[in-house]
Amino acid sequence: MQVMSYSFQSSAVCLVLCRYALSIMLLANDSFSPKKFFAMVGLSKKSPPEIEKIFMILDQDKSGYIEQDELQLFLQNFSKGARPLTAAETRAFLLAGDKDGDGKIGWDEFSNLVMSS
Ligand SMILES: [Ca+2]
């Protein structure tokens, strides 16, 4: 996968996403659901290239996978002051996306999760 430099803050889609992320982060601990989030921010209706951009932002170390520590900081990609996901939320996120059970979410798994949201 090609590594792209992409500034989320300057993206037009950010305004919408950030607003929703803000409302999500105000919710109580253990209230986060990846499917609900993707549906709320409209990500499930985006084209594959747009979803890929989001994936590359979430994959902070550009390993090609979203690992557990990257999942935990998921909300902070959308809003800087957002809380980290709780251990239970991170585990649930991983379980929802990690179909082959390798403990991380690859591009195929991420796009499947987003598009089924
Ligand atoms: Ca990674």
| Interval between CA 67 and ligand 1 midpoint (Å) | 5
Q: How confident is the model at residue 117 (pLDDT cuts 50, 70, 90)?
A: confident
Whether 65 has a binding-site annotation, put simply, is: yes
**DSSP assignment of 20-82:** HHHHHHTSPTT---HHHHHHHTTGGGS-HHHHHHHHHHH-TT-SSEE-HHHHHTGGGGT-TTP
Residue of 94, 109, 114 lying closest to 37 (CA atoms): 114
pLDDT (tens digit, 9 = 90+) per residue, 20-51?
A: 666 665 566 888 889 888 887 788 889 999 99
Residues with CB under 5 A from ligand 1 (ion): 59, 61, 63, 65, 67
| Interval between CA 65 and ligand 1 midpoint (Å) | 4
Quick one: fold of 32-115? Recoverin; domain 1 (1.10.238)
Question: pTM for the full model?
Answer: 0.77
pLDDT above 70 (res 61): yes
pLDDT above 60 (res 63): yes
